[in-house]
């Protein structure tokens, strides 16, 4: 009798549709929202680079090589999460992220190693935090709701992205004409960093609350094969390229919209990112169950098509309000694409390796930024040297690349058997 009661209690602790969005999810949602508030303040990272004497090419190299930190974290994170659980990694990552923002205020020149190191730390810690949160919530949901739960957590990021640029514009209010070497401009860049650090601290506390007493720790697996053998066995094929392409596209919005806006004489970012976030948030909430009806592959096709279209629409932008069109299309693309790509990669692995699967897909997302951002930053100068509009040609080039990846994925997906491993 006692044994039956024990079994029933054990079953009660498993995720159910009614418990998917419990206290732990609310805390994770707050943590992700405030983290993205901090991240979206860094959409003005080009201002930081300008304040220490850098240009568009420097911006591409610093942020591009900075994502190498994210890749380094991905190498160790998946195996460690599956063996030890997410709580320690989430907490350490958040603390490191706050530290990296504070250290940015001590950088005074674009030349030298320090600026690359602090950017490296920022992206490494951010990767650890986001990877841990996504793994954590995916482990709380039943398999058929994983894409939905990842998508719902992602909607918190859109809220942060909507508010963060508004706060950034408020910090820079009435000071838009300042030269990048002006003392007041540099002070406002530092104020931006300290504000982001404050939001990061709130996110850190919320992450601790999310994992407090929650079943976020996977079952310990003795004699687990090395990660590289698991990746070789279960790797999802061309989906890795798809994730890299997605990272390139989304990363472009986060880094290059600000200098493009300045290029056309637009100082404020709130119109673009508020529209982007509200559209993405609305689409994500209204299509939460769509993956179960359409399937992840169709979601990916739609996402890549709309993202390529968003890139092309930047060519038409001439004013601040003109940014609404690419923002609407880009927000829709983000809402469709991210959960579908991450979940598809997770489904290629058995559930017990969910941390490794999530980490692998996010690593390819970062790889797209590592390769793409320096090339995009350099391409602006190359196109300008040819007498073309560097930023607009950069957007056209990325649109063509994304369209090519989508077509290649459709071809390879049609040829593949589409079999998934068992959930044992």
Residue 95 tokens read as 């603390």
| pLDDT at residue 288, as a whole number | 62
Least confident residue range of 54-58, 85-89, 238-242: 85-89
**Is the CA virtual torsion 187, 102, 210, 422 positive or negative?**
positive
Q: Which domains does the chain have, with CATH numbers?
A: 22-213+227-415 (1.20.1250.20)
Read off the pLDDT of residues 112-127 as tens digits, 9 standing for 90 and up: 899 999 999 999 999 8
| pLDDT at residue 172, as a whole number | 79
Closest CA to 221 of 353, 105, 413: 353
| pLDDT at residue 144, as a whole number | 66
Q: Residue 388 and residue 386: Cα distance in Å, rounded? A: 6
User: Residue 314 — very low, low, confident or very high, per pLDDT cuts 50/70/90?
Assistant: very high
Instruction: Tell me what the mean pLDDT of segment 199-203 comes to.
Output: 94
| pLDDT at residue 71, as a whole number | 81
**Is the CA virtual torsion 106, 108, 110, 113 positive or negative?**
negative
User: Residue 404 — very low, low, confident or very high, per pLDDT cuts 50/70/90?
Assistant: very high
User: Dihedral (C-alpha) 164, 165, 171, 175: value to the nearest 10 degrees?
Assistant: 180
What is the DSSP track for 86-151?
SHHHHHHHHHHHHHHHHHHTT---SSSSHHHHHHHHHHHHHHHHHHHHHHHHHHHS-GGGHHHHHH
| pLDDT at residue 412, as a whole number | 85
| pLDDT at residue 212, as a whole number | 78
Max avg pLDDT among 152-161, 237-246, 359-368: 237-246
CA 251 to each of CA 17, 87, 190, 238, 371: distance values in angstroms, whole numbers, following the listed order: 33, 27, 23, 20, 11
pTM, two decimal places: 0.70
Mean pLDDT in the chain?
Answer: 80
Regarding predicted confidence, which is higher, 267 or 18?
267
Instruction: Tell me what the mean pLDDT of segment 66-87 comes to.
Output: 75
Residue 259 has phi, psi (to 5 degrees) of -65, -30
| pLDDT at residue 403, as a whole number | 93
Residue 215 has phi, psi (to 5 degrees) of -85, 65
Read off the pLDDT of residues 22-63 as tens digits, 9 standing for 90 and up: 777 888 899 999 999 999 898 888 888 888 888 888 888 898
| pLDDT at residue 9, as a whole number | 33
Read off the pLDDT of residues 319-377 as tens digits, 9 standing for 90 and up: 889 999 999 999 999 888 888 888 888 788 887 777 678 778 888 888 888 888 888 88
SS3 content of the chain, % helix, strand, coil (to 5): 80, 0, 20
Q: Residue 14 pLDDT more than 60?
A: no
3-state SS class at 85: coil
Instruction: Tell me what the mean pLDDT of segment 196-212 comes to.
Output: 90
What is the DSSP track for 193-249?
HHHHHHHHHHHHHHHHHHHTTSS-SPPP-TTPPPHHHHHHHH--TTHHHHHHHHHHH
Residue 192 tokens read as 């931006």
Q: Residue 238 and residue 91: Cα distance in Å, rounded? A: 33
User: Dihedral (C-alpha) 281, 283, 288, 292: value to the nearest 10 degrees?
Assistant: -150
| pLDDT at residue 316, as a whole number | 92
| pLDDT at residue 101, as a whole number | 94
Read off the pLDDT of residues 255-313 as tens digits, 9 standing for 90 and up: 888 889 888 888 777 889 889 988 988 887 777 666 667 777 888 898 999 999 999 99
| pLDDT at residue 108, as a whole number | 87
């Amino acid at each position: 009798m006692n044994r039956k009661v024990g079994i029933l209690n054990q079953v009660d602790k498993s995720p159910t549709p009614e418990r998917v969005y419990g206290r732990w999810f609310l805390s994770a949602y707050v943590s992700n929202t405030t983290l993205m508030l901090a991240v979206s303040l860094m959409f003005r990272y080009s201002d930081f680079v300008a304040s220490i004497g850098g240009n568009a090419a420097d911006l591409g190299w610093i942020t591009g090589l900075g994502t190498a930190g994210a890749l380094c974290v991905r190498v160790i994170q998946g195996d460690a999460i599956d063996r030890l659980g997410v709580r320690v990694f989430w907490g350490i990552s958040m603390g490191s992220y706050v530290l990296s923002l504070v250290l940015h205020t001590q950088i005074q020149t674009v030349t030298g190693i320090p600026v690359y190191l602090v950017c490296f730390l920022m992206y490494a810690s951010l990767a650890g935090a986001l990877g841990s949160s996504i793994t954590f919530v995916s482990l709380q949901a039943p398999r058929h709701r994983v894409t939905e739960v990842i998508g719902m957590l992602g909607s918190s990021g859109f809220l942060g992205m909507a508010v963060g640029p508004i706060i950034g514009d408020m910090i820079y209010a009435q000071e838009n004409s300042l030269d990048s070497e002006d003392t007041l401009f540099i002070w406002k860049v530092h104020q931006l960093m300290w504000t982001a650090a404050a939001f990061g601290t709130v996110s850190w506390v919320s992450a601790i609350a999310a994992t407090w007493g929650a079943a976020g720790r996977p079952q310990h697996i003795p004699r687990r094969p090395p990660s590289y053998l698991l990746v070789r066995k279960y790797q999802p094929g061309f989906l890795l390229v798809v994730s890299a392409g997605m990272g390139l596209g989304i990363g472009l919005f986060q880094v290059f919209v600000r200098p493009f806006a300045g290029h056309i004489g637009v100082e404020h970012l709130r119109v673009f990112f508020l529209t982007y976030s509200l559209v993405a948030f609305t689409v994500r909430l209204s299509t939460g169950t769509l993956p179960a009806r359409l399937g992840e592959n169709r979601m990916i096709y739609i996402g890549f098509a709309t993202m390529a279209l968003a890139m092309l629409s930047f060519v038409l932008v001439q004013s601040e309000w003109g940014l609404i069109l690419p923002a609407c299309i880009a927000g829709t693309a983000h809402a469709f694409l991210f959960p579908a790509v991450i979940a598809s990669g997770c489904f290629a692995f058995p559930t017990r390796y969910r941390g490794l699967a999530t980490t692998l897909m996010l690593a390819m997302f970062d790889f797209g930024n590592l390769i793409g951002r320096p090339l995009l930053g350099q391409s602006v100068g190359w196109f300008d040297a040819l007498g073309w509009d560097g930023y607009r040609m950069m957007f056209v080039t990325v649109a063509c690349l994304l369209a090519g990846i989508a077509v290649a994925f459709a071809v390879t997906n049609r040829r593949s058997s589409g079999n998934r491993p068992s959930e044992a």
